[in-house]
Amino acid sequence: MVRYPPAALTAHVHRYLTEHDIACPFCGETITILVDASAGSQQYIEDCQVCCRPMQVTVEADDGEVESLGIDGAS
């Protein structure tokens, strides 16, 4: 197990976390979400911060960079 000092860990995590402004597919409000590009391509559910409805977030990432971001209403 590799242990990082807190400052090194924080710098590593922040390098891959990026903010993205998106529009909720339900209420239309613009909200900001954090995307972790270090996890690679991923799909997850995140609730809208305004209307609390679930959104499906699809992230395509490569080498720690977000290539595309998709938002749909979760079913």
pLDDT score of 2 more than 50: no
Give per-residue pLDDT as tens, 11-55. Answer: 445 678 888 999 999 999 999 999 988 888 999 999 999 999 999
Domain range list for the chain: 6-73
**C-alpha distances in angstroms, 30 versus 16, 38, 55?**
22, 24, 13
Residue whose pair of structure tokens reads 């972790």 in the numeric block:
36
Amino acid identity for residue 44 in this structure: Y
Is 9 in a helix, a strand, or coil? helix
